Chain A
């Protein structure tokens, strides 16, 4: 069973609900903090961190000695992350989505993939609750690949709780995808309701059942 806790609006109490669920379920459950931009579960759970691993995305590095300046890489890249200008090829690793198109399609085999640091995944124990969190490197823009890496740590024999980031765009979708149920936490204000409606619309598209918790009634 995988339950995601989301909200739309920030500051409504997602993390309070997620960590409380985890604390109640204890040894049977695992909590994963998927709000990798601002992970807060650790503040409430105070876990002992046992492992820490860097997560990276493969980005291009061009060997100009092998490159025939055909321009294929720039042509296939949809993210303007690599471009041939005159007698050189310049990569913009921070724009790269790590799809591998340029290196795979380069006729000269001149592009090697090197890692770009996205952040870390830490695992540990908070009392008898298994704890996992992602923490994006400051300055890194792309949360979804790190969130996917966090979710790779899901243990299917556990009752899994996912703490989602606020909003309703790709980081939220990446988090709740594959969950059996989503708990939406909201507050009775115009902002709370507006953002709840947006988030519900985003999650309904995935066909996941949703329940709503109203805080600070």
Chain B
């Protein structure tokens, strides 16, 4: 069983559209949406939820004002500035370290588990899918990503599937790291714009930091062919495998509006190119 993750660095480069297309083209796969703080894959996959569970990622401090003697030890030592002068804890700032709980001479601070989100196992026309929603504004997205990936792997093993396809988050931080560590292959989707290239290079550095095989895909390559050429030269000089180029095609957005992956609705410039990219990727992943 192989696990592949699609990331981009920059948001809006086409991760989720590619993931849905790969999901349609792959046979015998489990999908995992690991962009848990702004998940979009469900919009295309239209999952039917068969199982759901709450996700408790951490704890937050609460001060019992009846016990509190206003000594201020907690305020003085909290490094997150989470405790106000009125001794009320700001839960958006509290990281749940419990130092105040241990230091309080009146034992007025309790640590309570917080609900950070929900995760789901669903059936989709692309096969089983594991996904999650972090409650807006909550923390611990990395932990939730790890949980989603684990569940997807369990399903893949139970049902004897060949592959887990993971849709990653933008950026290079906690949820992205959690979505790529230990996978068999990472696909970086980029676009020929200044920010697309800048962000792709940082994502690439991250993937190399963890020593994971990687392929590059240039999306909307024809919106700025000169920069596409520069990306191709960069890939060559850095010895990065280019899995293909996909042209700008309105059909991608049009099919998204109809809740479909672009390869599902028949041939076209983007759909044909994505099929070519997938053939390349398959060879690399199974070689």
Partner pick for B10 among A8, A11, A170, A171, CB 8 A cutoff: A11
Interface set, chain A 130-182, CB cutoff 8 A to B: 136, 138-143, 165-173, 177
B118: interface (CB < 8 Å): no
Interface check B235, CB cutoff 8 A: no
Min distance, Cβ B60 to any Cβ of chain A, angstroms = 11
Alpha-carbon separation in the docked complex, A138 to B194 (Å): 19
B170 and A166 contact, CB distance less than 8 A:
yes
Say yes or no: A199 contacts B38, CB within 8 Å: yes
B206 touches A139 (CB 8 A): yes
Q: Which of A20-28, A36-44, A47-55, A60-68 contacts B (4 or more CB under 8 A)?
A: A36-44
Q: Is B97's CB within 8 Å of the partner chain A?
A: yes
Partner of A97, one of B95, B198, B259: B95
Instruction: Give the interface centre of B16, B43, B58, B173 by most chain A CB atoms within 10 Å.
Output: B173
- Assuming the contacts A12-B12, A139-B209, asked whether A99 and B97 have C-beta atoms less than 8 A apart, the reply is yes
B172 close to chain A: CB less than 8 A:
yes
Tell me the residues in window 169-201 of chain A with beta carbons closer than 8 Å to chain B beta carbons: 169-173, 177, 189-191, 194-195, 198-199, 201
Q: Does A124 contact B (CB under 8 A)?
A: no
Chain B residues with Cβ under 8 A from A7's Cβ?
11
Could you tell me if B173 and A9 are in contact, using CB atoms closer than 8 angstroms? no
> Shortest beta-carbon distance, B245 to chain A, in Å?
18
Which of chain A's residues have a CB closer than 8 A to the CB of B141?
169-170
CB-defined contacts of B103 to chain A, threshold 8 Å: 104-105
Whether the Cβ atoms of B259 and A190 lie closer than 8 Å is yes
Q: How far is the CA of A170 from the CA of B170 in the complex (A)?
A: 14
CA of A98 to CA of B92, assembled, Å: 17
Chain B, Cβ-Cβ closest to A12: B12
A43-B194, A167-B170 are known contacts. Are A205 and B10 too (CB-CB below 8 A)? no
Q: Is the Cβ of A198 less than 8 Å from the Cβ of B198?
A: no
A114 interface hit (Cβ, 8 Å): no
Query: Which residues between 82 and 140 of chain B lie within 8 Å of chain A, taking CB atoms?
Result: 92-93, 95-99, 102-103, 111, 134, 136-139
B67 touches A (CB below 8 Å):
no
Contacts of A15 in B (CB 8 A): 195
B79:A201 contact, CB within 8 angstroms: no
> Assuming A97-B97, A99-B95, A205-B137, is B198 touching A38 (CB within 8 A)?
yes
Q: Are B98 and A76 in contact (CB under 8 A)?
A: yes
The answer on a CB contact under 8 Å between A195 and B10 is no
Q: Verify if B9 is at the interface (C-beta below 8 Å from A).
A: yes
A200 smallest CB distance to B (angstroms): 8
B77, A11: Cβ atoms closer than 8 Å? no
Contact call B173/A198, Cβ cutoff below 8 A: no
CB distance from A42 to the nearest CB of B (A): 9
18 chain-A/chain-B pairs, Cβ below 8 angstroms = A9-B12, A9-B38, A37-B176, A38-B171, A76-B102, A78-B98, A99-B97, A101-B97, A136-B173, A139-B206, A143-B174, A165-B170, A168-B38, A169-B36, A173-B137, A191-B40, A201-B136, A205-B92
Give 5 A-B pairs besides A167-B35, A171-B173 with Cβ atoms closer than 8 angstroms.
Answer: A76-B99, A100-B79, A143-B173, A170-B138, A191-B256
